[in-house]
A and B are shown apart, each in its own frame.
Chain A
């Protein structure tokens, strides 16, 4: 009973923090994008436009709900909620500090990868249920992309597992506190694994340069084409939460989690700083690069990312066997 209560409290806390962080993450992105493009960005609602997310939310809540003709209503309604639910559920196992962890599973990393891979199903559901060809093409692209980039994502995570010898996320951080961050040590392969993981993460959460499922220049708005109101909002929130939790996991696996540089003032704040930095860098990339074409995306994945990450796994095994022993 105590476990259930703890779960409820921690779950509620995580949902609140994540949703709030997401709302102001969107504000941060719009400000950054505006700065990069010599614009001003939101500046009317509240000081520095800080209340803009609230205004957006109020607007979305008032919008009319529209069902396209021939839409599969149940799946159409269900998809946005599932996208957000899966994205948030991933956060349950992320250790934000030595104490702040929802469920310290010994298969934590596997849980994250499993739920991350699951997210493509509601995304595709949204595309199919819309009864719209652009939405359907977007959904199919999402599926193809997720299957392909799931391979380097799992393989680079495997590099971390082989190095540290554990699948528990807090176990991975503890190993890094002792032996140095995986992105820095061993020098070279660690940072390559981190970059590959980051790229696969961009693709999994459909971010530029890999955002072909909703390529607005060719597919109107991809899977979100037919959505209105808060359901549209939830699809977006799901993507933002996915990116944010993904950044947190990259920080945990490769950047030492809550460990400060040279162990200075380790704690929750380092985790927050690393996550926000990675999150902002995703949008830095988003507003700097162009979008890949579908076939280029597949070639990059299968011809470069997969072989290199396989090589990294072999290297990790050798390092583990000869150096760490």
Chain B
């Protein structure tokens, strides 16, 4: 489908505006649970946009991983935080200027990257990619990038396990080690002091 033709499609505009509106709601409502659910709606909107562009694999993955996975994990996170009903606790507008700068920089960067994508506006570039082609390219020409990404995920997972691990009671904690070192220094200094006294 031609890009200009697509831009005149009311369904596309409706989906886009709805996705944006859900995203706005996700960051502006004060109830944290509602915010998570609005985020889920916004991600569903993105999935619908993918489907609109005939990228059915991306749409299904978006629903499976983001709505089914990330939103569910966020629900877990919200339920584990204390006072998730206390709305005032989550009004975090402490550094508005810095936040705005980061947001604007990110927006400009993304727009720049999108406008410089090769093949943008070229109708032939948007040809359908079939599932077997996608699988073959992931395991063929892009196998290295694919493996690097899986390694990154593995590292993140191991890191999370290390952070969440219960400390072995036999192994001294970092705090204790520091105290031990201080104790050692005190002993050494104390010995030195007695030495001076002795001389």
Chain A interface residues (CB < 8 Å from chain B): 72, 75, 105-107, 110-111, 113-115, 117-118, 120-121, 124-125, 128, 140, 143-144, 146-147, 150, 165-167
Contact size class for B? 20 to 34
Question: Are the C-beta atoms of A121 and B63 separated by less than 8 Å?
Answer: no
For the complex, give the distance between the alpha carbons of A71 and B64 in Å: 29
User: Which label, helix, strand, loop or mixed, suits the secondary structure of the A interface?
Assistant: helix
User: Looking at the complex, which one of B61, B68, B130 makes contact with A106 (CB distance below 8 Å)?
Assistant: B130
B61 to chain A, nearest CB (A): 7
Q: Is B60 an interface residue (CB 8 A)?
A: yes
Question: Are the C-beta atoms of A110 and B69 separated by less than 8 Å?
Answer: no
Question: Are the C-beta atoms of A120 and B64 separated by less than 8 Å?
Answer: no
For the complex, give the distance between the alpha carbons of A249 and B107 in Å: 43
Question: Are the C-beta atoms of B72 and A107 separated by less than 8 Å?
Answer: no
> Can you list 29 contacts pairing A with B, beta carbon distance less than 8 Å?
A75-B33, A106-B56, A106-B130, A106-B131, A107-B60, A110-B57, A110-B60, A110-B64, A114-B60, A114-B63, A114-B64, A114-B67, A114-B68, A117-B69, A118-B67, A120-B68, A121-B40, A121-B68, A121-B71, A124-B72, A125-B37, A143-B72, A143-B75, A144-B76, A146-B72, A147-B73, A150-B68, A165-B132, A166-B131
B53 to chain A, nearest CB (A): 14
| Most central of B57, B64, B69, B71 by chain A CB within 10 Å | B64
> Which residues from A are CB-within-8-Å of B69?
117, 147
> Which residues from B are CB-within-8-Å of A111?
60
Question: Are the C-beta atoms of A140 and B79 separated by less than 8 Å?
Answer: yes
For the complex, give the distance between the alpha carbons of A165 and B139 in Å: 14
A196 to chain B, nearest CB (A): 19
For the complex, give the distance between the alpha carbons of A105 and B57 in Å: 10
Produce 1/0 per residue, B166-191, CB < 8 A to A: 00000000000000000000000000
> Which residues from B are CB-within-8-Å of A110?
57, 60-61, 64
B132 to chain A, nearest CB (A): 8
User: Which label, helix, strand, loop or mixed, suits the secondary structure of the B interface?
Assistant: helix
For the complex, give the distance between the alpha carbons of A105 and B75 in Å: 30
A106-B130, A107-B57, A125-B37 known; 19 new pairs, CB 8 Å cut-off, are A75-B33, A75-B37, A105-B56, A107-B56, A107-B60, A107-B131, A110-B60, A110-B64, A114-B60, A117-B69, A118-B63, A118-B67, A120-B72, A121-B71, A143-B72, A143-B75, A144-B76, A146-B72, A150-B68
For the complex, give the distance between the alpha carbons of A114 and B71 in Å: 13
- With CB as the reference atom, state the residue of chain B lying closest to A129: B33
With A143-B72, A143-B76 known as contacts, the answer to whether A128 contacts B64 (CB < 8 A) is no
Question: Top 6 nearest A-B pairs by Cβ distance?
Answer: A117-B68, A114-B63, A110-B60, A114-B64, A107-B60, A107-B56
| Most central of B67, B130, B131, B132 by chain A CB within 10 Å | B131
> Which residues from A are CB-within-8-Å of B60?
107, 110-111, 114
Question: Are the C-beta atoms of A128 and B130 separated by less than 8 Å?
Answer: no
Produce 1/0 per residue, B46-76, CB < 8 A to A: 0000000000110011011001110111011
For the complex, give the distance between the alpha carbons of A165 and B69 in Å: 25
For the complex, give the distance between the alpha carbons of A114 and B58 in Å: 12
A16 to chain B, nearest CB (A): 26
- With CB as the reference atom, state the residue of chain B lying closest to A128: B33
Question: Are the C-beta atoms of A147 and B72 separated by less than 8 Å?
Answer: yes
Produce 1/0 per residue, B131-155, CB < 8 A to A: 1100000000000000000000000
> Which residues from A are CB-within-8-Å of B57?
107, 110
Question: Are the C-beta atoms of B72 and A121 separated by less than 8 Å?
Answer: yes
